[in-house]
Structure 1
Amino acid sequence: METFLNFLKGNFFDFLTYTGFANAEIGNLIMIAVGAVCIWLAIKKDFEPLLLVPIGLGIILGNIPFKADAGLEIGLYEDNSVLNIFYQGVRQGWYPPLVFLGIGAMTDFTALIANPKLVLIGAAAQFGIFGAYMTALALGFEPNQAAGIAIIGGADGPTAIFLSSKLCPNLMGAIAVCAYSYMALVPVIQPPLMRLLTTKKERVIKMKAGREVSQTERILFPIIGLLITTFIVPSGMPLLGMLFFGNLLKESGKTTRLAKTAGSSLNDIIVMLLGLTVGCSTQASEFLTVNTIFIFVLGACAFVVATCSGVLFVKFMNLFLPEHKKLNPLIGNAGVSAVPMSARISNNLGLEYDRKNFLLMHAMGPNVAGVIGSAVAAGALLGFLS
Structure 2
Amino acid sequence: PVIIPAVAKLLMKEDEFKIHMRNMDKQFPPKYEIKHLRTVKILFPIVLTLVVSILVPSSAPLIGMLMLGNLLKEIGANTARLADAASGPIMNTATIFLGLCVGATMPAEVFLRWQTIGILVLGLFAFAISIAVGIIAVKIYNKSSKKKINPLVGATGLSAVPMASRVANDLALKYDKSNHILQYCMSSNVSGVIGSAVAAGVLIAFLG
* TM-score normalised by structure 1 residue count: 0.49
Residue 44 of structure 2: aligned partner = 221
Residue 140 of structure 1: aligned partner = none
Deviation at 1:217, TM superposition (A): 1.7
Q: Does 1:230 align with 2:44?
A: no
Superposed CA offset, 1:299-322 (max 9, x none):
111121122122121112222222
Give the secondary structure class of the aligned counterpart of 1:338: coil
- 2:200 maps to amino acid: A
Query: 1:116-127 alignment to 2 at 5 Å?
Result: none
Question: Residue 251 of structure 1 is aligned with which of 68, 74, 79?
Answer: 74
Residue 194 of structure 2: aligned partner = 372
Give the secondary structure class of the aligned counterpart of 1:335: coil
Residue 354 of structure 1: aligned partner = 176
Give the secondary structure class of the aligned counterpart of 1:315: helix
Q: Is the 8 A contact 2:142 2:148 kept in 1?
A: yes
Deviation at 1:249, TM superposition (A): 0.8
Question: Residue 319 of structure 1 is aligned with which of 131, 143, 148?
Answer: 143
Q: Does 1:195 align with 2:9?
A: yes
Residue 271 of structure 1: aligned partner = 95
Question: Residue 133 of structure 2 is aligned with which of 305, 309, 316?
Answer: 309
Deviation at 1:340, TM superposition (A): 1.1
Superposed CA offset, 1:122-154 (max 9, x none):
xxxxxxxxxxxxxxxxxxxxxxxxxxxxxxxxx
Q: Does 1:334 align with 2:149?
A: no
Query: 1:1-386 alignment to 2 at 5 Å?
Result: 187-208=1-22, 209=25, 214-253=37-76, 254-322=78-146, 325-386=147-208
Alignment partners' CA distance in 2, 1:299 and 1:346: 20
Alignment partners' CA distance in 2, 1:231 and 1:316: 33
Deviation at 1:225, TM superposition (A): 1.8
Aligned residues: 198
Deviation at 1:222, TM superposition (A): 0.9
Q: Is the 8 A contact 2:21 2:150 kept in 1?
A: yes
Alignment partners' CA distance in 2, 1:357 and 1:373: 27
Alignment partners' CA distance in 1, 2:134 and 2:106: 32
Deviation at 1:236, TM superposition (A): 0.2
Superposed CA offset, 1:237-261 (max 9, x none):
0000111111111101121111111
Alignment partners' CA distance in 2, 1:315 and 1:269: 42
Alignment partners' CA distance in 2, 1:355 and 1:378: 38
Deviation at 1:349, TM superposition (A): 0.7
Larger radius of gyration: 1
Residue 139 of structure 1: aligned partner = none
Superposed CA offset, 1:44-74 (max 9, x none):
xxxxxxxxxxxxxxxxxxxxxxxxxxxxxxx
Deviation at 1:289, TM superposition (A): 1.8
Deviation at 1:230, TM superposition (A): 2.5
Q: Which runs of 5+ in 2 are unaligned?
A: none
Give the secondary structure class of the aligned counterpart of 2:161: coil
- 2:90 maps to amino acid: L
- 1:353 maps to amino acid: Y
Alignment partners' CA distance in 1, 2:82 and 2:190: 21
